[in-house]
Chain A
Amino acid sequence: MFDGLLRHPSRVVLVLPVLVAAGLGACSSDADTAGPANSNKEDAAPALDDATSPDSGAACVSTRDFFARQVWPILSAKCTSCHAPGETASTGDNGAHPAAGFTLAWDSYPDFLDRNLAGLSRMVTEEIRGVPKLLVKPIGGDTHGGGALFGKDAPEYAVLKDLAARISNQVPDCPASGGSPLDAVPLLDWKSTFRKAAINLGGRLPKPEEASMADEAAFDKALTALMTEPTFFDRVKEMWNDALLTDGGDRVQTSVFQFDAVEFPFAKGGQMGRDAFCAGSADVPACIRDFDKRWSAIGRALLAEPLELIANVVRKNAPFTEVLSAPYGMANPYLAQLYGVESQFPAPSDTNVEQWQEVQIVRAKAGPFAHAGVLSTPSFLGRWVSTPTNRERARSRMTQKVFLATDILKLAQRSLDTSSLTGVANAPRNSPACTVCHSVLDPVANSFSNFSDSSSFDQDLKITAATNPHQEMLPPGLGVTMMPGAETKMLSWLGTAMGADTRFPLSVTRVAYQGIVGRPVLAYPSYGDAATFGDRFDAWNAQDHAVQGFASAFVAGKLDFKALVRAIVKSPFFRAASVPPTVPAALSAELGAGHLLTPEQLDRKIRAVTSAVYTPGGWGVGQPRPHRLLGDVRTLYGGIDSFSVTARATAASAVITSIAARTADEVACQVTAWDFTRPAAERTLFPAVELTTVPGAGDADIRKNIGLLLDRAWGGAHGPADPDVELVYGIFQGTHDELAKASPAPPFEYNCQGRWDRTKDQVYSCGTQGQPDYVAQCYTFDATLPAPAQIGEDKQFTIASWMAVLSFVFSDYQFLYE
């Protein structure tokens, strides 16, 4: 099924001299007034590299690289205008189009090189009077619809002839002979790699037993264990929400009104509203509280379901295709009520909301629901709703973007004049101007036709592929494969078909790569800047080979997502310690450290380093402790809200750095005095000093503590003579001296005093426990410490001095980046 991923040679990149052959394919700069009438002049193809056949005397390259460097520029300039999917000379993707020819995928398609090379291979093996079609059609032979594109004496023809010779084995291939620039990249040792992985994937620091990791086997063992920890699954959910964008809060249409109360009787209560629902209750306030809590929890569970399903598949080490084909949904005790499967769960409570399990929905009248993994979850359907004019196309677009690495919106980058289509009936299906997208878009869209053109969760299994309500669209299916007409569980069919598509592992790899490395996989370089195209192409090519390798490891690992994570984490893209100058600059920009932690990762790192959650203040009774960085500053710190902001920031802005500064100050305020309220052996930040340890007599202990603090927060080993220790000591000493000389002494900010346990909750008295006003008016805060344990003064000015130190440490590049 995935042979295509495994077959091509890897890591062949050569830096070759440039031959601008007689104007052919020359990379022209954007001349101001060139180009066809009434259109932007799109990029010309880049300059061709020197001839690189094995017998040319030049360095040897594989057929794939020869194709990428020399053939593709010709094809993209001369052939794709007619042979791209949906264009006039292509077969189209519905299989029903009568036109002859072959299809050339744009470079925005995943694995376009291999796909196109395979297509050309067929054009070589198929001959006309003993000559490969590849060498007949472009010169106008065999009634080529596009006529003669060039003559036999043209450089383009020579290149195609060379390719034909390679494909037909007249010229030996040179697979994988040159090595990859990635081979020369020095890597972090396994211990440092694991610290990075532990923070990135586990939200924690290495454990003592992991600190002495010496070899790959130990790393593998530790990574395996790390990938069973709860935070790892939180990370999995985060990286998949970055792609699916389903955790979008109230704007995702998953309200109770999306559920038919006949099929989901529990929804009827929610649809009544709390006042009507509780009107006859003996205890109306209690009923309202219960109502609000239940439906709020159900709403959160609905949003979480697709991500929990993905985490479930990963947790089971099941083939990741189950994400699309799973014959089940997911529910927790609250959501189980709405789905009518509460008998399989304990009674819902605050303590079991994270108790998720697979469920099969059985509707009251229509019977069993046909699940198709995440595709059939209310959250996915409610995030990407259908309308009478959209007709499931938003669902199709996201499905293919996330799981088939096919961005429909990238397919429509050429000129289109809809104002000229007024005479074309059903243009999306019949006009080449539209079919370029719709031939890809519509079969998948139509595969959602068991659901109506609305946001309702209303699967109708009486509809078949043949009787679908969108007869004006291409029939349900995937690409050129049509769904059997009698199929009723269309999404299940689609999910299975997508899982078998070679693009699926590549697509999953892209999502995982971006989630772990923090940058998207490179797109095929545009030709815009001729001077840098070679460098950018080399970078893309090296990374493309690597990504194909990750996907191959994923496939070889039986599509276990953890195998994919392991391959990426062990690659230079995660482990590069430095990058030699021989590596293309565009590739160096993708390697090594420099990943700005996401707000979620920074939040977890703060907790790991300080042992306290960074909390904004009071929160509701019975609610989980809020995380400051996941609240209103999440998007300010470069995070996403899954609706308005859907792409993460990858570099610090003034605002991000300012938020980091505020975070550092507030965390320092929250944890400094508190840490000193604990016995030295229990402290996480100040185990080597006391409040009475001051500059001068206490220098050694202060420096020792600074070293331990930097080890913990920044990683590495910091001895007393380390320049960073000296730098931090200067902050401590300078601040201490300043405060000691101040008259009067500056006040000790109340909220920074050591009066509270930052890890324990306490509901403060502002109502009567058991009465309605208790929940309605009370808030939870950090628990107050017993009076003798409290620190309300800073007589030695050491707390303020350590606060300044922490503010510096927590706002440092080494803390904010990994």
Chain B
Amino acid sequence: MSHLSRRRLLQAGGLGVLSLALPWTRGARAGGAYAGPLVMTVHAGGGWDPTLFCDAKAPTADIQQRLYTTPTQVGAISAAPIDLLDYQTGVKLDNVPAFFAALGSRFLILNGVDTQTNNHDTGTKHVWSGKTSEELPSLAALAAAQGAASYPLPLAYMSTGGYEATANVVQLTHVPGQSTAKQFLLPHTVNPDEVVANQRSYFSADTLARISAAQAARLDAVAKKAGSKREADAVAAFNGSHQRMAALGALAQQLPAKPVTAAVAFPALGSGYRSGELDGYLQSAELALHAFKSGLAVSASLGLGGFDTHMTHDRNHTRQLGMLCLTLRYLLTAADALGVADRLYVVVGSDFGRTPTYNVDNGKDHWNVTSMMLAGPGIRGGRVLGATDDKLRPLRVSKDDPSQVKGYDDATATRILPAHVQRALRKKVGIDAALAAPFGLPVDMPLDDMLA
């Protein structure tokens, strides 16, 4: 990569001179595809209920639970002993203990995480950025920025929902369903849906090269004439996007001819099972994994919806948890198959939790205490940190040994806050200090090594 194009890339990435100090740039100078850490965040939008999942609670005077009375212990995990049914079809999607029996060893469970809010936007912001007052970039955005500083990644940070703030450290790309993806993956192909052998281009390779050279000349000229920072930023972003666009074709070749469906990925559901919602989640995961495999992306944010169950909580929430479980099963299995699992961090979270009691509509409302699940290289799975008490309040953990649960108001210990989690993740993923510096996450009692 020439010095000039590298400079353009840095400008386009929004990092400017900051990136020059990043150690990751050394790999890019040596050439080769991106081979650093990958991040997939999975957001259960609306506020999930950990008591139906990974923080099962027996009914108490302050906790109402209508689906079970006794949690099932799966290793260290207190799992809700329930089937996860798709009430719309009657099909059993998953079973919580079975899910953790299969995948619990890969996940570190954090219970009793205090989001300090019951506001959707603030909670989402807090969980994924570590701060309530500002829209800081998430771990996914920071990791993508770090990768994009050194590699021409056209889809550095992909998203189909969830927390998407970037603080302009990297550009976010909203990713559509796969049905339209080839429209942009093969921009000069007349009909990208045709079999490869029959695909035709509007222009020959020589003509495209001629146009591309003229575009580069124009962009240089326009950049020199930019009259404001706004225009200079726009030209730089456009320039950078041009360079990153060239690599998109590799992903087109990588994708399977037919996108994954739930019925194909999970034959036990029955060949007749159809869910556009679940298929969409799986296909988003599939596209992201192939983008990782192709070296085009570093991070992806996957958003699932439907967890804000103020009415008929048990029925509606278990369906969404079933979809989440199947999405995670597919994600990890496919990551293994594609050979990217050893670099992939998966972080699962939600806006906040849900109240310990039912409202008059058999729903459960907003509760600031929640759980998170983390997996990835160097994260020791099969463990649970943090806990809630019999009022579903967050218990503190020892600042020296977070595996030790302390009392609700033990001043010598700390509640687990999203800032703790994000700090620890930044450290584990290896986010450069210079990149993270403007987005500090100060806490009273750090738990930076709790993932190991």
Contact = CB atoms under 8 A, between A and B. Distances in A.
Contacts of B207: 734-735, 738, 804
B442 A654 contact: no
Interface stretch (B28-36, B66-74, B171-179, B378-386): B171-179
Given A422-B391, A749-B200, A590 B230 contact: yes
B227 A578 contact: yes
B225 to A, nearest CB: 9
- Central interface residue in B174, B180, B211, B218, by most chain A CB within 10 Å: B174
Nearest to B296: A654
B122 A652 contact: no
Contacts of B443: 32-33, 35, 40-41
- Central interface residue in B120, B155, B442, B444, by most chain A CB within 10 Å: B442
A294 B415 CA distance: 58
Interface stretch (A166-174, A489-497, A722-730, A756-764): A722-730
B363 A419 contact: no
A635 interface: yes
A766 interface: no
Given A412-B119, A414-B133, A665-B188, A389 B359 contact: yes
A585 B229 contact: yes
B248 A658 contact: yes
Interface stretch (B82-90, B110-118, B321-329): B110-118
B134 interface: yes
A418 B174 contact: no
Nearest to B416: A38
A592 B230 contact: yes
B237 A651 contact: yes
Contacts of A32: 440, 442-443, 446
B202 A665 contact: yes
Nearest to B414: A38
Contacts of B190: 749, 751
Nearest to B135: A526
Interface in B342-365: 359-361, 363, 365
B310 interface: yes
Nearest to A656: B241
Nearest to A577: B227
Contact of B210 (A29, A730, A813): A730
Contacts of A43: 133-134
A657 B245 contact: yes
A661 B249 CA distance: 13
A656 B393 CA distance: 46
Contact of B211 (A422, A588, A807): A807
A735 B211 CA distance: 9
B155 A633 contact: no
A651 B365 CA distance: 38
Contact of A529 (B133, B206, B438): B438
B134 A528 contact: yes
A711 interface: no
Interface string A586-613: 0011111111100000000000000000
A528 B131 CA distance: 12
A579 B154 CA distance: 31
- Central interface residue in B203, B247, B439, by most chain A CB within 10 Å: B203
Interface stretch (B96-104, B268-276, B331-339, B366-374): B366-374
A707 to B, nearest CB: 16
Interface string A387-409: 11110000000000000000001
A759 to B, nearest CB: 22
A244 to B, nearest CB: 18
Interface string B221-242: 1100011111111110110011
A813 B235 contact: yes
B214 A728 contact: yes
A461 B441 CA distance: 52
Contacts of A589: 228-230, 233
A56 interface: no
A666 B411 CA distance: 66
B338 to A, nearest CB: 21
Nearest to A750: B190
A740 B226 CA distance: 38
A817 B133 contact: no
A413 interface: yes
B121 interface: yes
B155 A592 contact: no
B118 A416 contact: yes
A736 B272 CA distance: 55
Contacts of A749: 190, 200, 202
A585 B444 CA distance: 35
A37 B183 contact: no
B248 A651 contact: no
B62 interface: yes
Interface in A305-330: none
A499 B374 CA distance: 49
B198 interface: no
A645 B173 contact: no
Contact of B62 (A389, A422, A735): A422
A95 interface: no
Contacts of B230: 519, 588-594
B405 interface: no
B76 interface: no
A39 B444 contact: yes
Interface string A788-815: 0000000000000001100110011110
B46 interface: no
Nearest to A752: B202
Interface string B262-284: 00000000000000000000000
A43 B121 CA distance: 19
A752 B396 CA distance: 68
A399 to B, nearest CB: 17
A422 B221 CA distance: 64
A652 B247 CA distance: 16
Contacts of B394: 419
A142 interface: no
B57 interface: no
Nearest to A732: B210
A591 to B, nearest CB: 5
Given A413-B132, A592-B231, A749-B190, A654 B173 contact: yes
Contacts of A659: 183-184, 187
A656 B183 CA distance: 11
A381 interface: no
Given A419-B391, A419-B393, A655 B206 contact: no
Contacts of A808: 211, 214-215
Given A653-B241, A735-B207, A738-B206, A418 B122 contact: no
A585 B16 CA distance: 15
B409 to A, nearest CB: 10
A43 B391 CA distance: 32
Interface in B147-182: 154-155, 161, 171-176, 179-180
Given A40-B132, A43-B133, A416-B116, A588 B368 contact: no
A593 B117 contact: no
A123 to B, nearest CB: 26
B54 interface: no
A409 B203 contact: no
Contacts of B396: 38
28 contacts: A33-B445, A35-B444, A38-B114, A38-B417, A40-B419, A40-B441, A387-B361, A388-B310, A389-B310, A415-B116, A528-B439, A579-B227, A588-B228, A593-B231, A594-B226, A596-B234, A632-B176, A632-B180, A636-B176, A658-B184, A658-B187, A734-B206, A738-B207, A746-B204, A803-B203, A807-B211, A808-B211, A816-B238
Interface of A: 29-43, 387-390, 409, 412-420, 422, 437, 519, 526, 528-529, 576-579, 585, 588-596, 632-633, 635-636, 644-645, 649, 651-659, 661-662, 665-666, 668-669, 723-724, 727-728, 730-731, 734-735, 738, 746, 749, 751-752, 803-804, 807-808, 811-814, 816-817
The 3 closest A-B pairs by CB, nearest first: A30-B440, A578-B227, A594-B234
